[in-house]
Structure formats: C-alpha cells, structure tokens
Amino acid sequence: MLRPAFWLPLIATTLASAQDPVTIGLEDHATGLSSPVDIVHCGDERLFVVEQSGVIRIVSPTGEVSAVPFLDIADRVNDGGGEQGLLGLAFDPGYAENGRFYVYYIAGTAEGTSRLSRFRVTDNPDVADPASEEILYTVEQPAENHNGGDLAFGPDGYLYISFGDGGSGNDPWNNGQTLTNVLGDILRIDVSGETGYTIPADNPWVGVGNDTLPEIWASGLRNPWRMGFDALTGDLWIGDVGQNQREEIDFWPAGNNSGPNFGWRCYEGEIATPGINDDCPAPEAFVAPVSTHTHGAGWCSIIGGRVYRGTEFPRLQGLYIYTDYCVTPYFAIRRDDAGEWERFQVRSTNGGAGTSAIGENSAGELFVANVNTGTVRRIVDQCPMPAPVITPNGDQLISTPADSYTWYLDGEAIPGAETQVFVPTQAGSYYVVGGFGAGCELTSAPITVLETSISTHQAIAVTVVPVPAREWFTIDHIPSATARIELLDLIGKCVHSEGVSGAVRMVLDVAHFRNGSYVIRLMDRAGAVLQQLPVQIQH
C-alpha cells in the first residue's frame, strides 16, 4: 500500500499566541474625573473610581461617570500633599449580601494620620452612607509622602493593606526593617466579624512577642503604591516605588504566609541603597524583585499593574501588565516554559505623565487611570484577530484567510510562498505568518510533514468536538502511538491527564473546569508531544 500524502502525528508544541509579539492599545473609556488614583469593582459590571480628594464615583460599562458620588468623605480627607488623600478601596467578598466596603485615606492635618475605615452602602446600590464609617486602624505619619494606601482582599478572604515607610529619604527611621510598627509593611487582617477585626492565626508574626505586630504579613517595602492578586492563581504582585535609582515589581506566591521581606531600606531594587551604612545582610536574605527599571531610562514612580484574566483578548491571558507614573513604555511579565521570569515591552509609551493605577472589572478586563487628564482608558490587544490555522488537504496546506501570507519551513521563509494554499515538497516543520493590516502579523501553530508522496490515501486528522464545549469533548481519530491525553490551561498548567490504552475515540469530561481557552495535548509513551489542539470551554 502506498504511504499517505501526509502523515500527521505531529502538530504545534506551543500555542501560536506565544510566538507573536503582543502590542497593547489604550482605548478611551471615561473622562471628566478629578485625580483618579484607583479603579475597583464590586463583583458586578460597574467600575468604582477613587478620586484623591475624597470622592468615589461609579463608571458604567459604557463609560458614563455618575454625577452623584457613590461616597463623598472629602470633609475628612487630607489631600494637601501630593501623595495624600483618599488612596485605596476594596469591597468585601460578601458585598452583595452585606454591603460593606473598606477605604484607606489620610486624615488630620500636616503629615496626617493613615486611616482604614469600613463603610456600608445604602438601600440605593449607587450611594453609600458616609455616616456609617467604622474606623478600624490608624497610624500617625511622620512625613507627607510614602503613604502606600492600597487595599485588596486575598484569595483567603483576608484584607491586605499596604503602608509606605513613612516618607523622607533613605527611610531614616528604618521602618522597612522594623516589625514594631506597620510602616513599610503589608498588613493582613480578618474583617469578617460584625465589628472591628481579628488577626489570622497563620500570620507570620503571631505569638512572636517583643512588640512585633502580629498584623504584619510582609515587610521591607518603600512605598507599595499599588498591589493586586492574580484573579486566577491568587499570587500577589506589588509595585514598590523606588528612591533615586530603581523602580521594582515584587511577586509572592499564593498561600505562602512565611513573612516575605523585600529588602528596603538595605536594597533599592537589586542594588545596595547608596548612603545606607547599616550592617545589612546579603541580598539573598531578602525577596528579590522580579523586575526593575532605572531612572536613567525615564522611570520615576512605578505604578504596578494587574494580571490579565479577561476573555476578550486571549493573547494577553496571564500577562502581568504594568507601567510608571512618568512617560515610559508598558511592559509585561510572565513565566517562560522553564519557569523563569521573562519581561517584554508591549507598548512604546504610556501616553503621558500621570498614570496612577491599573485596575480590572469583574470580567477581568483591564483599565488605566490618569490623575493629570482625569481619564480612564481600557487596555486592549492591538491585534485581537485569531492567528491563522493550517489545515492539511491532500497534498496541500491551507491557511485560514488573512490579508497576506508568508510560509516558513524549519524557521526560514520560503521564497515566493505568499499565497493562502501551499504545496510542500519536502519534509519539515511548516508554519505561516498572516498579515492583517495595521501592522498586525500573527503566526500559525507549526505542522510537521514527515513525508510527501502522490497517493490516493490521505491521513485522517484528529478531531475534537464540540468547540466550544459545555460538558465534554469527544476526541476522534486518536493516533495509535498516543499513550496519554492532557488538558492544559493557557499558562501551561496541566489541569487533567488520563491514559489512552489504544482507544481511537475518547470522551473528556470538562463540566467542572472554568470557562476559557485550553489546549488538548496528545503524548506518546516517551513523553513526546504528538499533537496539540486549541479548544474552548464555555458553560
């Protein structure tokens, strides 16, 4: 019997979206705000934007800004200094039932007092009760700057509060390395009771004594202006504002309550802090930043960012996207296949000075606030169209439609191969780059051709139906060499695996998996990838 024209047990070992550079755009969403410094959601479609003067406004999904404030406490907020004011907002995990939310602001005069307070919404879901304030925690500030001020509920249901080191230069009180006050630290408290708060039993400094504060969860921070938990993994990302030389992004994995110390005042980013003569331990004693940027490159006050977990722009999935207050690019961070951090630029400029916060809505889409322009803009993928897909048909490889085509063999462009249909003449790994106008070029997943010959017999490709799936996938025409089938999420984590045992058809139950994009991967007995197919789950 003649061999088939295409013998296709091998298809892409990586998703096409991982091959192409990502460029984000900034899409206008809301205007007319006054010094917006934070963007938060309460679990529904509304955005809540914090104005530094002491006002919280609602922004609708279509960008309309509420004329009537959700909360107005300007009469008790000290916003006299550039880093003072109403700085943070977080909604209780049970907000839909209990109507409780939390704010961080500077009260009093001069240097002021940091205040953490709880408020409640009224019977009108768009208006909170300013008289419902319950003050939970206060800290006298020694200077006007470095107030931190972000609030976030972790995946454990506890409230995390960021405090700067108290201000001035070089942390003259060494607050960052002192556990007897909260300055330069992140607190973790339980606010689930009717009043007040309690301290989680697994906080790292519970029971230590010696005046160490058990509320403290992390230390060694200079001014953690914005922090955020990954909505999928629960990992914490922190943008810690530097001093004269370095801006840094810090990371800490979910579920680890061992008391991370991020190194300030001993270290600014990855370098020893100039002018500090303390007997500081080696850098290995501290948690190193995952990314730093220099003031020489234009960075001045890092904003931090968020991990994209929306569904509208699959190529952004899993990227931590961040920028700076000054005019700098946007960058993204993710782990590579070896588990190492990789950083790359996703936009050449942030559009002007004044970027103050990156927040997310309840669907995981990202938004950016600017204090100078009073605007909120939405982060979008500048090339959102799907990458081309190659389908074998007899002796041909056919790309899905694009504006232009460039075919590659083993990583090298094939001269003259610029049409939608291509006939390979030799074995190897083929892929196509499709052009889609506006500077968008996207790469298909590669397909490996092992043999080419004239034949009336054609290989039968593996199929997966339905796509998207609600409760199950049926995988048909499984190659005989397949020993195991895996289901991977878009960050490469295997979420399901089962043996094949010679079956040519299998049904994969996915009813309990979250909505989103996945990959079905077929493996042989040696662990080699035979085929990968992108799929969707939508319940």
pLDDT of residue 7: 35
- Confidence at residue 132, expressed as pLDDT on a 0 to 100 scale: 98
- In this structure, the answer to whether residues 4 and 43 fall within a common structural domain is no
Residue 219 lies inside a defined structural domain of this protein? yes
Q: Looking at residue 5, what is its pLDDT? A: 33
Q: Is residue 313 part of a domain?
A: no
- CATH code, domain with 97: 2.120.10.30
**The last residue of a domain, from among 231, 259, 294:** 294
CB 77 within 8 A of CB 104: no
Q: In this structure, what CATH number is given to the domain that contains residue 512?
A: 2.60.40.1930
Q: Return the higher-pLDDT residue of 535 and 133.
A: 133
Distance, CA of 453 to CA of 7 (rounded, Å):
10
Q: Is the pLDDT of residue 106 over 70?
A: yes
Range picked from 5-9, 80-84, 533-537 for highest mean pLDDT:
80-84
pLDDT at 10: 32
Domain carrying residue 435: 1-20+384-460
User: What average pLDDT does the segment 8-26 reach?
Assistant: 57
**At 16, is the pLDDT very low, low, confident or very high (cuts 50, 70, 90)?**
very low
In angstroms, rounded to a whole number, what is the distance separating the alpha carbons of residues 354 and 372?
5
CA torsion sign, 417 to 422 to 427 to 431? Answer: positive
Q: Tell me: do 449 and 466 sit in the same domain.
A: no
Q: What is the pLDDT of residues 235-289, one digit of tens each?
A: 999 999 999 999 999 999 999 999 999 999 999 999 999 888 788 999 999 999 9
Q: Give pLDDT tens digits for 158-176.
A: 999 999 999 999 999 999 9
For residue 458, what are the CA distances in angstroms to 60, 215, 353, 396, 431?
A: 54, 67, 59, 11, 20
Same domain, 454 and 468: no
Indicate whether 172 and 242 sit together in one domain.
Answer: yes
- Stretch 406-413: mean pLDDT: 95
Confidence at residue 346, expressed as pLDDT on a 0 to 100 scale: 97
Phi, psi of 166 (to 5 degrees): 105, -10
Output the six-digit token pair for 241: 């504002």
What are the CA-CA distances from residue 536 to residues 13, 382, 512, 513 (Å)? 18, 22, 14, 11
> Residue 365's pLDDT band (boundaries 50, 70, 90)?
very high
- Short-list 507, 443, 435, CA closest to 469: 507
Provide the b/e sequence for 7-32 (b: ≥16 CB within 10 Å). Answer: bbbbbbbebbbbbbebbbebeebbee
- Tens of pLDDT, residue by residue over 124-147, are 999 999 999 999 999 999 999 999
Of 4, 25, 11, the C-alpha closest to 316 is: 25
Please state the rounded mean pLDDT for residues 501-522: 88
Return the bridge partners of 113, or none: 107, 140
Q: Is pLDDT at 333 greater than 60 in this prediction? A: yes
Kind and range of the H or E element at 115? strand 113-121
CA neighbor of 505 nearest in space, from 457, 534, 472: 472
The pLDDT > 90 percentage for the chain reads 76
Average pLDDT value over all residues in the chain: 91
What is the secondary structure of 390-439 as a DSSP string?
EEEETTEEEEPP-SEEEEEETTEEPTT--SSEE---S-EEEEEEEE-STT
174 and 60 within one domain? yes
What pLDDT, on the 0 to 100 scale, is given for residue 504?
86
* E strand or H helix at 248: strand 246-252
Residue (of 6, 9, 2) closest to 483 by Cα position: 9
| Residue 433 covered by a domain | yes
pLDDT at 359: 98
Distance between CA atoms of residues 262 and 408, nearest Å: 46
Across 99-113, 197-211, 346-360, 493-507, least confident range: 493-507
Q: Nearest CA to 236 among 332, 154, 156? A: 154
Secondary structure of 338-355 in HEC code, one letter for each residue: CCCEEEEEEECCCCCCCE
Q: Can you tell me the mean pLDDT for 9-34?
A: 71
Confidence of residue 4 (pLDDT cuts 50, 70, 90): very low
pLDDT per position as a tens digit, 436-464? 988 899 999 888 887 664 333 344 678 88
Does 516 lie in the same domain as 443? no
453 plus 468 within the same structural domain: no
What pLDDT shows up at residue 394?
A: 77
Task: From 251, 277, 294, give the residue that closes a domain.
Answer: 294
Residues 121 and 240 in one domain: yes
Q: How many structural domains is the chain composed of?
A: 3
- Residues 190, 272 within the same domain: yes
421 and 278 co-located in one domain: no
Q: Is residue 299 situated within a structural domain?
A: no
Q: Is the pLDDT of residue 344 over 90?
A: yes
| Distance from chain centroid for Cα 400 | 31
Final residue in a domain of this structure, among 294, 317, 335: 294
435 and 484 share one domain: no
- Residue 414 and residue 466 in one domain: no
Write the pLDDT tens digit of every residue in 380-397.
Answer: 999 999 889 898 887 889
Q: Which of 47, 52, 28 is nearest to 356 (CA)?
A: 52
Q: In this structure, is residue 272 part of a structural domain?
A: yes
Q: Specify the length of the chain in residues.
A: 539
pLDDT of residue 452: 63
The pLDDT value recorded for residue 19 is 57
